[in-house]
Amino acid sequence: MSDEKVSKLEILKEGSRQLRGTIAEELTNGEENFSGDSAQLLKHHGTYQQDNRDMRGKKNEDGTSAGKEFSCMVRTRIPGGKVTSDQFLAELDLCDDVGNGTVRLTSRQGFQLHAVLKSDLKRTIQTINETKLTTFAACGDVERNVMCCPAPHNDNKVRQDMQDMADVIAEHLKPKTSSYFEIWLEDENGEKTNATEFQPVDEPIYGPRYLPRKFKTAIALPEDNCVDLMTQDLGFLAIVEDGEIVGYNVFVGGGQGMTPAKKTTYPTVAQKMTYVPTDQVLQVAEAIVKVQRDFGNRLDRKQARMKYLIADWGIEKFKAKVEEYFGGSLPEPHPADVTDVDDHMGWHDQGDGRWYLGINVENGRVKDEGDMRLKTGLREILKKYGMPTRLTPLQGIILCDIEDKDRADIDQIMVDHGIKAADDLSLTRRFSIACPALPTCGLSVTESERVLPQVIDDLEKVQAEHDLADERISVHMTGCPNGCCRPYTPDIGLVGKARGKYTLYLGGNAPGTRLAFLYKDMVPLEEIAATVSPILGYFKSERSNGESFGDFCARKGLDDLTAYTEAL
Ligand code: SF4
């Protein structure tokens, strides 16, 4: 163990025998919950221990405290969101079997099961692995799920090559520890995981303490930044010439989390650092990860994301260090930048004689509720047609490889189950996402997922009042400033600040190319639409040709918007 001053979590990771800790022992100790140390290590295995926030403070019949209602969130790591129908069906079965009857599609193209009891955790993870998916490294201080544009356009190789690249990066940056296999996948007769038998494996990229903090990577196209590339630690923007990817612009240092009380924390958008030909992507990715590993802040976790290292050093010094690790100089970036975004919803010609269908899933929650029976309808479609699927970064689903003759039947199944087609939804709803927040997230200060549908209803009304019903206005909402749903770059960002109150950000945009600015703090939930309404009116009367709402707000700026609304 080194003498460097580091946080407690660094000491825990380093002493954990490559992320084993006492997880295996605690799995069979009869307790309802894991210890704090194990809960931290569990994240690297794809699991967050949580407690039902709705139940906190509840009393038993005899007046005693009911205590915490513990359960686990189990996240699956799926590079590019590529899922077979069997894998999807297995996840739907699992949510009924061990979860809360819903599957959540995450904003990083993964699945989440909620409310899994500790006693069901091992078989849940085993079942996921039996479908050839994994929860390993879905969370924790490692490379998280590598995102990639999921659209299955097969008229050229571009999207397929990007998706292959996502797989290759994910595999290359995967931790090598065998702890996951030992803890979750070996049967009762398997090797025991006690300290005397521990044989470390080489972790050539991560070393004994893994990374100082989580690390996020995504791959996008300039005209389709559906993965929100500039919010990631590391982004690869494909440069296409004559229908082929020749290389990637490399963006570094994006990140969304912040703590308002700590002025040294802030969201950032990634900076364009260099260009790499396709055959050097892995070496450059590895060099960047290793620079963050060796120089990222390990004392203060609130300063540990790579964005702070880059802010501290400046992009030139950071690039020079990456060049040192890479072993050669890196060129200036290609001029290409992000220009637009697509949500891939509705019917699209795949370019190979077949079709794909994007289905919007409000807040990514696959469930049956009232007349909207998405879970049942999806089951029926997937069982009948067995098509491959994709999970989108806006928490939606793409059904792939559909024959033209089957489209009408699939449309009918959707109608029969109350599943809305993309054309029946406003663009604002299609481009809205929320984090789970209450009741499952231990960090949330207020609601997000459970209230966003109402917020969108209200925004749709005021958009219609201003004759802006068809306008694409992206809305990202979170239950706290940690920013899991990337709330600091869309047209409208809503960040939970206190119970029922939100910080309202304006001036980002749907393609996610810049940070929004703080327009108003502590806006009550029920006043969000009314607060935005006058600015929509201003936008309607003074927008320039084709200007988006976010671009308009950014052009006018905070002072002008404030002066305008105060003069009303
Ligand atoms: Fe939880 Fe905050 Fe992340 Fe939402 S943004 S999931 S409330 S940590």
The structure tokens 């996008």 sit at 220
Please report the pLDDT score of residue 64 as a whole number.
Answer: 87
Please report the pLDDT score of residue 315 as a whole number.
Answer: 98
What letter does residue 80 receive in the DSSP assignment? G
Strand 397-402 and strand 355-359: the pairing is antiparallel
The structure tokens 């019903």 sit at 469
Residue to mutate (ligand 1; options 114, 445, 478; most atoms within 8 A of CB): 478
* Ligand 1 center from residue 477 Cα (angstroms): 10
Per the CB < 8 A criterion, the answer to whether 466 and 536 are in contact is: yes
Residue to mutate (ligand 1; options 73, 258, 441; most atoms within 8 A of CB): 441
Per the CB < 8 A criterion, the answer to whether 472 and 511 are in contact is: no
* Ligand 1 center from residue 147 Cα (angstroms): 19
Please report the pLDDT score of residue 329 as a whole number.
Answer: 98
* Ligand 1 center from residue 434 Cα (angstroms): 9
Q: Locate 496 and state its tokens.
A: 């939970």
Could you give the residue ranges of the DSSP H alpha helices within 46-113?
85-97
Q: Locate 398 and state its tokens.
A: 């793409």
* Ligand 1 center from residue 89 Cα (angstroms): 27
CA distances from 563 to 425, 549, 554, 558, 560 (A): 33, 18, 15, 8, 5
Query: Under CATH, to which class is 347-421 assigned?
Result: alpha beta
Percentage helix, strand, coil for the chain under 3-state DSSP, each rounded to 5 = 35, 20, 45
State which ligand 1 atom lies nearest to the alpha carbon of 437.
7
Residue to mutate (ligand 1; options 75, 144, 452, 482; most atoms within 8 A of CB): 482
Please report the pLDDT score of residue 1 as a whole number.
Answer: 55
The structure tokens 């500039």 sit at 230
Per the CB < 8 A criterion, the answer to whether 226 and 394 are in contact is: yes
DSSP string, 427-480: HHHHTEEE---TTT-TT-SS-STTTHHHHHHHHHHHHHHTT-TT----EEEESS
Q: Would you say the C-alpha torsion 483, 485, 487, 488 has a positive or negative sign? A: positive
* Ligand 1 center from residue 166 Cα (angstroms): 25
Burial 46-83 (b: 16+ CB within 10 A, else e): bbbbbbbbeeeeeeeeeeeeeebbbbbbbbbbbbbbbb
Cα 533 to chain centroid, rounded: 29
Burial (CB count within 10 angstroms: exposed 0-12, middle 13-18, buried 19+), residue 155:
exposed
Ligand 1: which residue has its CA nearest to atom 2? Answer: 480
Q: Would you say the C-alpha torsion 438, 442, 445, 449 has a positive or negative sign? A: negative
Domain boundaries, the chain: 8-326, 347-421, 429-567
Quote the CA–CA distance of 41 and 48 in Å, as a whole number.
Answer: 9
State which ligand 1 atom lies nearest to the alpha carbon of 436.
6
Residues known to be catalytic: 75, 144, 214, 216, 435, 441, 480, 484
Per the CB < 8 A criterion, the answer to whether 368 and 376 are in contact is: yes
Residue to mutate (ligand 1; options 363, 480, 503, 505; most atoms within 8 A of CB): 480
* Ligand 1 center from residue 305 Cα (angstroms): 17
DSSP string, 303-341: G-SHHHHHHHH-HHHHHHHHHHHHTS--PPPPS------
Pocket of ligand 1 (CB under 6 A): 435-437, 441, 443-444, 448, 478-480, 482-484
State which ligand 1 atom lies nearest to the alpha carbon of 441.
1
Domains 347-421 and 429-567 share a fold: no
Q: What is the mean pLDDT of each run of 10 residues along the chain (568 residues)?
A: 84 97 96 97 97 88 88 97 98 98 98 97 98 97 97 91 98 97 79 60 96 98 98 98 96 94 94 98 98 98 98 98 98 98 98 97 96 98 98 98 98 98 98 95 95 98 98 98 96 98 98 98 98 98 97 98 97
Please report the pLDDT score of residue 55 as a whole number.
Answer: 87
Topology of domain 8-326, per CATH? Sulfite Reductase Hemoprotein; domain 1 (3.30.413)
State which ligand 1 atom lies nearest to the alpha carbon of 445.
7
SS3 of 350, please?
Answer: coil
* Ligand 1 center from residue 288 Cα (angstroms): 27
State which ligand 1 atom lies nearest to the alpha carbon of 495.
5
Quote the CA–CA distance of 93 and 130 in Å, as a whole number.
Answer: 13
Residue to mutate (ligand 1; options 256, 301, 435; most atoms within 8 A of CB): 435
* Ligand 1 center from residue 443 Cα (angstroms): 6
Please report the pLDDT score of residue 195 as a whole number.
Answer: 44
State which ligand 1 atom lies nearest to the alpha carbon of 442.
1
CA distances from 285 to 215, 311, 326 (A): 11, 19, 9
Q: Locate 533 and state its tokens.
A: 């309404």
Q: pTM for the complete prediction?
A: 0.96
Please report the pLDDT score of residue 187 as a whole number.
Answer: 66
CATH number for 429-567 (one of 3.10.20.30, 3.40.50.10320, 3.40.1190.20, 3.30.413.10): it is 3.30.413.10
Q: Locate 371 and state its tokens.
A: 């007349």
Quote the CA–CA distance of 556 and 558 in Å, as a whole number.
Answer: 7
* Ligand 1 center from residue 499 Cα (angstroms): 14
| Among 217, 210, 212, residue whose Cα is nearest residue 108 | 217
Quote the CA–CA distance of 459 and 399 in Å, as a whole number.
Answer: 29
Ligand 1: which residue has its CA nearest to atom 3? Answer: 484
Strand 475-478 and strand 432-434: the pairing is parallel
State which ligand 1 atom lies nearest to the alpha carbon of 485.
5
